[in-house]
Structure 1
Amino acid sequence: MSAASDNAARPVLLEARGLNGWYGKSHILQGVDITIRDGELVALLGRNGAGKTTTMRALTGLLPRVEGRLAFAGEDVLGLPTHEIAKRGLSLVPEHRGIFGTLTVEENLALAARSGARWSIQNVYEMFPALAGRRRTPGGKLSGGEQQMLSIGRALVTGPKVLLLDEPTEGLAPVIVDRLVDLIRDLKASGLSMLLVEQNLDVCMAVADRLLIIDGGTIVWEGSGAELAAAEEVRGRHLTLEHA
């Protein structure tokens, strides 16, 4: 069985159909379709302002006005509060990390941790030894890379079924980006489903099963990394290429 057919045979965890989203009177998302299957990593690419982060906000209940269909593990979750969607297993690592700067590393993790979650605080420390050594350090005193590690760790201790990563490599040094790519690979190998929003094409090509391109609030292209590598016109028309 090919990788594509194997992915298609997996159960759907997250499905958005015809999602429309607004900020006030501004119609940002215009019929977005996204499907994420069990164990699959999907990358969402696009230029600044194309609708990537707005899509993440719509999926997690953070966008005030959304219309269309949104199902998680077969249950209609459109219109549910963010915390109710999170309880079902959809966890977001936000674009600007969103950690509590006055709380320590340990306190940030403990605040999010759920009993019986697949990843414990100790697991996070094993994944990120730098955090273990700074567990009593306030989040605001961490480096950018450490803050990103903490943001990912905090999402993992909630016990997600699908992890949403919004621009996780933004502003990070290449060596830290490489470590994050290795971590994402490890999480994927563990069977965790993920939606990755990125402008760094190299990162997406390295980890994704499928890639989507959003432009003007609409998905305009879908395919594999190999197909996107061969689609020079598509890349030139819809992407601002950034390389690690």
Structure 2
Amino acid sequence: MNGGAPLLDVAGLHAWYGKSHILHGLSLEVGAAETVALLGRNGAGKTTTMRALCGLLPSVRGSARFGGTELLGRPPHAIARSGLSLVPEHRGIFASLTVEENLRIAHRRSSRWSPEAAWAMFPALADRRRTPGGKLSGGEQQMLAIARALMLGPRLLLLDEPTEGLAPVIVERLVALLRNLKAGGLPMLLVEQNLDVCRAVADRHAILDEGRVIWAGDTAALAAAGGVVSRHLTLEHA
């Protein structure tokens, strides 16, 4: 991370699903102009981390400070208003609402993003603005999920497996979109299995195993960490 206080500072984060202890003292940071990728095999705790940060788990312990304010213990709507916006793994769009309705229902007046501004960045959505979300292709639904998250005016965008199940050509378009958002100054925390995507988008990477960060470094360090990658990651495009 570059100098200065981190935008997101997670320390000693524990989380449970019922009696199952999933996160075991996880710590990570995201700087104010950074994209950080969370890597790890299925079950390592990546999605649980995202859900804990967004107030979607009832049982958590530790600290997660966002812009200097503690997130843990706050309700999800308050966390969203503070500027943390999640694109969930299964997109979570409203299938019966049109593309435009999905965006307008999420739009916050204070956001620099509006449905009108989104059409320029998401031209495929502009062409289908009156189409119900459930009638879109998988790639279009993912773009809609990201556009809808932007309507909230995030200070930090969380993306959980954004390329899962998408064709390679759609993944390329999504990578270009994320790089544009990054160039525009939007920090991101990215959960992703595709290492090519992580290398193309993220500044730093953190590998999780059994609910802990067991390795962290920049993209050059990740390229040199072949042993860690082979032991702890699903080798997709490694």
Normalised TM-score (structure 1): 0.96
1:83 match: 77
| Unaligned 5+ runs, structure 1 | 1-6
Match of 1:191, SS?
coil
Identity %: 67
Alignment-derived partner of residue 192 in structure 1: 186
What is the aligned counterpart of 1:207 among 177, 180, 201?
201
Q: Secondary structure at the match of 2:7?
A: strand
Question: What is the aligned partner in structure 2 of residue 183 from structure 1?
Answer: 177
1:66 and 2:60 matched: yes
2:160 matched to which residue of 1?
166
Q: How many residues align?
A: 238
**Equivalent in the alignment of 1:40:** 34
- Unaligned segments of structure 2, at least 5 residues: none
1:21 is aligned to 2:15: yes
Task: Tell me the CA shift for residue 243 of structure 1.
Answer: 2.1
Q: Per the alignment, in what secondary structure is the counterpart of residue 96 of structure 1?
A: coil
Deviation string 1:156-182 (CA, Å, 9 cap, x unpaired) is: 010000000000000000011001111
1:97 aligned onto 2:121: no
1:113 aligned to 107, 111, 115, which one? 107
Report the equivalent of 2:137.
143
Contact 2:106 2:148 in 1 (8 A): yes
TM-score, normalised to structure 2, is 0.98
Matching residue within 112, 119, 124 for 1:130 = 124
Query: Given that residues 53 and 71 in structure 2 are in contact (C-alpha distance below 8 angstroms), is that contact kept between their aligned partners in structure 1?
Result: no
What letter corresponds to residue 143 of structure 1 in structure 2? S
Distance 1:190 1:232 in 2: 32
